[in-house]
Homo-oligomer: A and B are copies of this chain.
């Protein structure tokens, strides 16, 4: 992770933050965060590739550990291509309502992002 002078951010300001690749190209933006109620850990950034969430749009939960905040870029940098992000597990509005209810999709996401630092820590589902 990049060292930052201001370590805290407001949840309300994360929405709309660009997600870029390592070449500085914008791939999409963060639409929302998914937070573990008990531990208070941000588990996923819900990434959008279009405008703000519209009818039929899907959100892609990207494990927080995959995102690297870059102050110079003013956004999050990911070590994936747009095609790889688009092919990752995604959720529509109805599925978002039940986000976290099942564990199957969570291990699917962890498997998908495992090589990019997004796997599940040992002993935690």
Binding site for B on A (CB under 8 A): 1, 4-12, 14-15, 32-44, 46, 64-65, 69, 96, 98-101
Q: How far is the CB of A29 from chain B (nearest CB, A)?
A: 14
Closest chain B residue to A34, Cβ basis: B8
Interface residues of chain A: helix, strand, loop or mixed (majority) = mixed
| Inter-chain contacts of A12 with B (CB < 8 A) | 11, 15, 32-33
Closest chain B residue to A64, Cβ basis: B40
Q: Is the CB of B14 within 8 A of A34?
A: no
* Most chain B CB within a 10 A radius of its CB, from A9, A15, A44: A9
Q: How far is the CA of A11 from the CA of B14 in the complex (A)?
A: 9
Q: Is the CB of A41 within 8 A of B43?
A: no
| Inter-chain contacts of A44 with B (CB < 8 A) | 8
Q: Is the CB of A37 within 8 A of B7?
A: yes
